Amino acid sequence: MLAVVVGFLAFTQINSTSTGPEMQFIWGLVAAVSFGFVVFSVFRVRRVSSMARVIPHKVMSIVLCPQCSFKQIKNFAMGDYVFKTEGKCTQCGVGSLFINGIYTEDLKRR
């Protein structure tokens, strides 16, 4: 925004007849530098935003039974946390399942 204001002021000073040729050259140089800065900033923002792509990850939860060593890997659900109780074990029916770990798989490597 500042570059636009400086460029406008420089343009009005260049077209002014009361200033000498030296001042017109300086204001023209200021306008050119301001315009170059704006163009550089626009291209830089476009390049950075194109490079910042989100790499998708698949989040998984490891569910274990402490009694029978039953292990299940399931998709992560909102509200999952480590050591959360998931209910009775489907294998032995005695132990209670709990979340032992949460990790991500990098889908890009597949």
**What does the pLDDT look like over 5-45, one tens digit per residue?**
666 666 666 566 566 777 777 777 877 888 888 888 888 88
Contact 101, 61 (CB under 8 A): yes
Contact predicate 70/98, CB 8 Å = no
- Tens digit of each residue's pLDDT (9 = 90 or more) over 58-106: 899 999 998 888 899 999 999 999 999 988 988 888 888 999 999 998 7
Task: Tell me, yes or no, if the pTM score tops 0.95.
Answer: no
Instruction: List the domain boundaries for the chain.
Output: 2-51, 57-106
Q: Parallel, antiparallel, or unpaired: how do β-strands 57-64 and 71-75 relate?
A: antiparallel
The predicted structure's pLDDT at residue 6: 63
Looking at residue 33, its pLDDT comes to 85
